[in-house]
Amino acid sequence: MISPLQRVPLRTLASFLEAVASHPHADEAVIASFAGGLSRTTAKRALPTLAALGLIERESGGRFVCHASGVRRGIPQAEANLIIRRALQGFRPFEALCEGVALGETEQEAIRRTGILLDADEGTLRLLIGWGEDLGIFHRSGRSLCLAAEVSPSPAAEFDAIKSEDVESEARARLYNAARLGRDANNFLDETDRALLAEATLKYRLDPPLAVEKSGQALEDYLREVAGNKGFVVDAKSCNGAGQLGALLVSKGLIHSHLNQFVQAIATARNTTAHRKDKKTMQPWEITPHGAFWAVTGALVVIRSVHDFIYGGKQRL
C-alpha cells in the first residue's frame, strides 16, 4: 500500500516545503507558524504528504528536513510548483497513471490498473490526477484525460524509432520506455532500473557508451530480480552480469534458449564499454549512437520478452 497522501492545495504544500527548508524543526506547530501562520492540523496533513513525495524527511530525532534542491526562503510559487512537479513525476503511483494514459487507457481504466499494480486506493489516485491537472501535466479534452504535450511521447508505431521529441525530458523517456515494456514488466522493475533505462534513452546520442552501460545494467538487475523471485537467490549471487544470469535462467528451465541468446547479445554490447581496450585486439570499441540505440531498444525488448515468457506464458519477441 502506498504512503497516505492528504488533499492539500499546492500553495500550502509549497509553504510547508519552504518552511522546512528554511527552518528545520521537530515541532509541527513551529513549522506551521513559519509556513505563514497555518495550523498544526494543516501541518499534520501537509508534512506527511511532502514526505511521501520524497521532498522532506523526518529524522530519527524528530526534526523535519528538506531533501529537495533549489528550495529557499521566499521561493516564488512557480518555482516551488516545478520542484513539486518533478517529485510527482518520479512518484511511482503518479508515474503509473501517466503510463496508462500514454498507452491510451481511459482515466478510469488507468486508475483501476494502477490500483491493482500498486495496491493504491482510488481516492489517492484521483488526488494525484488533480495535482497533475493543477501542475499542467494532465489536461482535459472533453471528458478525456490527456497528457500535456511536453511530457506526452509521440504516438507509438509498431516499428518506430526514438525521436528527438521523445527524449526532451526524463518524463518523456520514462513513458517511451513504459510503452515498450508494457504495464507488467515496467512495474516489476524498481525505481533504480526505471531510472537507468530512462537515462539510457536520454543519452544514447550524447553519450553512447553510457547508454549501453546503463541499459545493460538494468537488464542485469531485472534478470537477478527474476531469479530471486523464482527461488534462485543463492544461484544468482554467484552470477556476474546479464550473460551468466541468462544462462542460469535457461538451466533452470525458466526461459527459452532463444531468449538467452538475445540476453547474451545485450550483455556482449555492455562488455564492449567495460574496458578501454579489447583483450584480443588491444583496441577500444567505438560505440556509435546507432549502436547505443540498438542496445537500449534491445534491452527493452528483451526485458518484455522474458517477462512475457515467464509470467505470461507468451512466446513473443
Output the furthest CA–CA distance in the chain (Å, rounded): 70
Whole-model pTM above 0.85?
A: no
Q: Are residues 170 and 290 in the same domain?
A: yes
Cα separation, 277 vs 124, whole angstroms = 52
Amino acid found at 288? T
- 23 vs 46: CA distance, rounded Å: 16
> DSSP of 22-64, one letter per residue?
HS-BS-HHHHHHHTTS--HHHHHHHHHHHHHTTSEEE-TTS-E
Tell me the pLDDT tens digit for each residue of 286-314.
999 999 999 999 999 999 999 999 999 99
Q: pLDDT digit string (tens) for 233-246?
A: 999 999 999 999 99
Q: Where are the alpha helices (DSSP H) in 103-207?
A: 107-118, 122-134, 170-181, 183-188, 191-203
Considering the domain architecture, whether residues 109 and 197 belong to the same structural domain is answered as no
Q: Which three cell numbers stand for residue 231?
A: 527461488
Domain boundary among 147, 177, 192: 147
Based on the domain organization, do 298 and 175 belong to the same domain?
A: yes
> Would you say residue 154 has pLDDT above 80?
no
pLDDT tens readout for residues 22-44: 999 999 999 999 999 999 999 99
Q: Does residue 274 belong to any structural domain of this protein?
A: yes
DSSP 67: -
* Number of independent structural domains in the chain: 3
CATH number at residue 55: 1.10.10
The domain containing residue 172 runs over which residues?
Answer: 164-312
